[in-house]
Amino acid sequence: MATVEKTQDQESSTNGQYKVIGTRPIRHDGVDKVTGRARYGGDTRLTGMLPAAMLRSPHAHAKIISLDTSKAEALPGVRAVATSADLPDATDKIADLGEGSVNLKHLSDNVLAHDRVLYRGHAIAAVAADDIHIAQEAVGLIEVKYELLPPVMNVLDAMKADAPLLHDDIKTNDLGETADQLSNIATHICFEKGDLEAGFAAADVIVEREFHTATVHQGYIEPHNATALWNADGHITIWMSTQGTFTARQQTAELLDVPVSRVKVVPMEIGGGFGGKISVYLPPVAAILSKKTGRPVQMLMSRTDVFEATGPTSGSTIRVKMGADSNGRITAAEAWLAYEAGAYPGSPVGAGAMCVFACYDVPNGKVDGFDVVVNKPRTNAYRAPGATNAAFATETVIDELCEKLKLDPVEFRINNAAKEGVRRVDGPVFPRVGMIETVEAIRDSEHYQTPLEGKYRGRGMASGFWFNVGLKSTAQATVNADGTVALIEGSTDIGGSRAGIAMQLAETLGIAAEDVVPTVVDTDSIGYTDVTGGSRVTFATGWAAYLAAKDIQGQLIERAAKIWDCDVAKIDYKDGAVVGPDGKRFTFKEIAAEAQTVGEPVIGRGSADPQEPGGAFGTHLVDVEVDIDTGKVTILRYTAAQDAGTAIHPAYVEGQIQGGVVQGIGWGLNEEYYYDDKGTMRNSTYLDYRMPTSYDLPMIDTIIVEVPNPGHPYGVRGVGEVPIVPPPAALANAIYDAIGIRMHELPMSPPKVLHEILKQQ
């Protein structure tokens, strides 16, 4: 049965069922974070460490005719120079990064350009020197001769038959068949369900619209960094801020052509990532420079480097056609999605195609998706990658359908909502999910029930979906004699996952969350663990911790059997205690103190590869006011309802929802990469790249809906991705309600809104 936690002052609805899960303990790493003792990638200091600087392309598209590093190498204080000639030839092999994939040949070329630069900021060479000023001076002495080529900067231009080609090895993979001609279209995918023609024939109203979204950045505060030591014994250690130590290890090993066992990645604290810190940019280069100098080498990106040379998310063009009958039932839906991949294939168009109609029961549907290269940085994941673009299109069309049919958007969503047993257009069948419950939570909210008054004010709503992933995780827990437990795991912590994982272990053992001491460790110290991304960590690494706790339970039962000299089958583990015959009982602290007197140390291990992440839905409601003289959109009130399955730590669930909403608002109203006709980004600083601040926003109210995921022992669903999906569409619908203008392009910034207002006058 679904439950709803309406305010953060209320206790979680799970408190009746659990003792730890649903409470709000102080996060285990909180003191270090607020006192500044936590060590991030840029804080790494090693004896003899050298700084390094990178030479980057000033052009968006050019052939490298020659590269001369002799003057840089001759500069006093320079210790080594690295170019693509120092990288082994990479194989044409696809590596799964956990949240997206990459061709290693393309990744190698992205790390250091070989014979062509494909975007402004493309890395070409690096210099390690005695200090950063010498390194930067030496970079300026490297001579590069270019043959300039015309850049192609948006997806529709890149798809034209006569468009400049970025690669001489890309031919469209069209539904599994390779085309004959070179193209900027790397891949075409298609999903179909039912009879599309019959579905549209049955519709009483059909709406078809085209949408455009801009390239946007994840906006993490901490820049990319890497410190590498290539030791004399051939082992490489990398200290870095990353969303996946094992993923970073694999990429680095593959690009340097060394066994993964020779690479150790040490995770530092991470100052935000949101998908942008999965691919490697600096570690292989820092490692090469370390090998050449025999000393550790550190590389740090500037903010401009982060914008111009790391993976934002895709700009896109999307066409959605949807039909419904007079009863308000969707009869058919069709989508055409073209996503920019940046300089190398790998846009999130596949995920966009999975999510575009996922909120609804679409009996007849078709989705075509295109992965297209352009002269921008190679895209990376960004919180529900691909889904926000798709939802902007679908949810805006839904709103227009409701208007034409004179139907309440809330009731329309409830009547057409995805639910258990519904098959998505891309194939999977939903288990128990909470789409309907999130819409009902908004309908029943105080926000929705309060009338909105005032001129040029409007209210809009939208829903969103993310399928979530499981993947592999490992956890290990050691019982200490004082009754505490030392937990080690391999999921780098971005959103409070240390606490969420520790709480699941504590719940299983029946001890306090504060009695678990969690540590995120390096790749040599724990079993393989996939990336922190895809809303998988609390679900999958939490499952591994649950299994480790069950392992501990079994071992403690065995110890008690020896102490009591009785059959193991007569002993049970209940409510944080070992319980035996004749009223015998050991609390966890008591058995922890006794355990090592009758056996080896108690160490629980858990490895998980769960296959039922469940998927998650959210529905948002926003009130806006539009200034018709400037086009500025002011947000008056915002409420987000989301199905968390089971909220392990409700405060962190609320924080994830609020953070995702804010990022979605930025994407919807202001954020965009702005390029000139030469392919130069003109707003690559936080002064010019307009992200929302606290002055731009009201309090984001949250409603936690709990429809437990049947595929997890505690009902967990990932929560980090969904909140970014509905905001742009909800804002677009609110703008229409306020001034009667449909916005079909992101961002809906003041100049664009004003342009549409003036068109209507």
Nearest to 166 by CA among 181, 152, 146, 147: 152
Q: For residue 479, count other CB atoms closer than 10 A to its CB.
A: 24
Q: In whole angstroms, what is the distance from residue 376 CA to residue 119 CA?
A: 5
Mean pLDDT, residues 50-75 taken together = 98
Contact predicate 290/126, CB 8 Å: no
The C-alpha R_g of the chain, in whole angstroms, comes to: 27
For the cut 60, the answer to whether the pLDDT of residue 393 exceeds it is yes
For the cut 70, the answer to whether the pLDDT of residue 1 exceeds it is no
According to DSSP, the residues that pair with 174 across neighbouring strands are 177, 188
Q: In whole angstroms, what is the distance from residue 86 CA to residue 288 CA?
A: 7
Please write the tens of the pLDDT for every residue from 187-245.
999 999 999 999 999 999 999 999 999 999 999 999 999 999 999 999 999 999 999 99
Q: For residue 109, count other CB atoms closer than 10 A to its CB.
A: 24
For the cut 60, the answer to whether the pLDDT of residue 10 exceeds it is no
Mean pLDDT, residues 459-485 taken together = 98
> Residue 138: which region, alpha, beta or left (left: phi > 0; alpha: psi -120 to 50)?
alpha
- In this predicted structure, what is the pLDDT of residue 388? 98
The overall average pLDDT reported for the chain is 96
Helix (H) or strand (E) holding 419: none
- In this predicted structure, what is the pLDDT of residue 6? 46
- In this predicted structure, what is the pLDDT of residue 93? 82
Q: Considering the entire predicted model, what is its pTM?
A: 0.96
Q: In whole angstroms, what is the distance from residue 106 CA to residue 593 CA?
A: 55
Contact predicate 377/215, CB 8 Å: no
Indicate if the alpha-carbon torsion angle 493, 495, 496, 500 is positive or negative. Answer: negative
Please write the tens of the pLDDT for every residue from 618-661.
999 999 999 999 999 999 999 999 999 999 999 999 999 999 99
Contact predicate 175/369, CB 8 Å: no
- In this predicted structure, what is the pLDDT of residue 14? 63
Mean pLDDT, residues 483-507 taken together = 96
Contacts of 321 (CB under 8 A, 6+ apart): 200, 206, 207, 208, 332, 333, 334, 335, 397
Please write the tens of the pLDDT for every residue from 695-711.
999 999 999 999 999 99
User: One-letter amino acid identity for 603?
Assistant: I
Percent of the chain whose predicted confidence (pLDDT) is above 90: 95
Please write the tens of the pLDDT for every residue from 141-194.
999 999 999 999 999 999 999 999 999 999 999 999 999 999 999 999 999 999
For the cut 70, the answer to whether the pLDDT of residue 53 exceeds it is yes
**Confidence tier at 54 by pLDDT (50, 70, 90):** very high
For the cut 90, the answer to whether the pLDDT of residue 687 exceeds it is yes
**Confidence tier at 11 by pLDDT (50, 70, 90):** very low
Percent of the chain whose predicted confidence (pLDDT) is above 70: 98
Burial of 378 (0-12, 13-18, 19+ CB in 10 A): buried
For the cut 90, the answer to whether the pLDDT of residue 102 exceeds it is no
User: One-letter amino acid identity for 381?
Assistant: A
**Confidence tier at 7 by pLDDT (50, 70, 90):** very low
CA distances from 83 to 144, 296, 389, 495 (A): 12, 18, 37, 36
Mean pLDDT, residues 338-348 taken together = 97
For the cut 50, the answer to whether the pLDDT of residue 559 exceeds it is yes
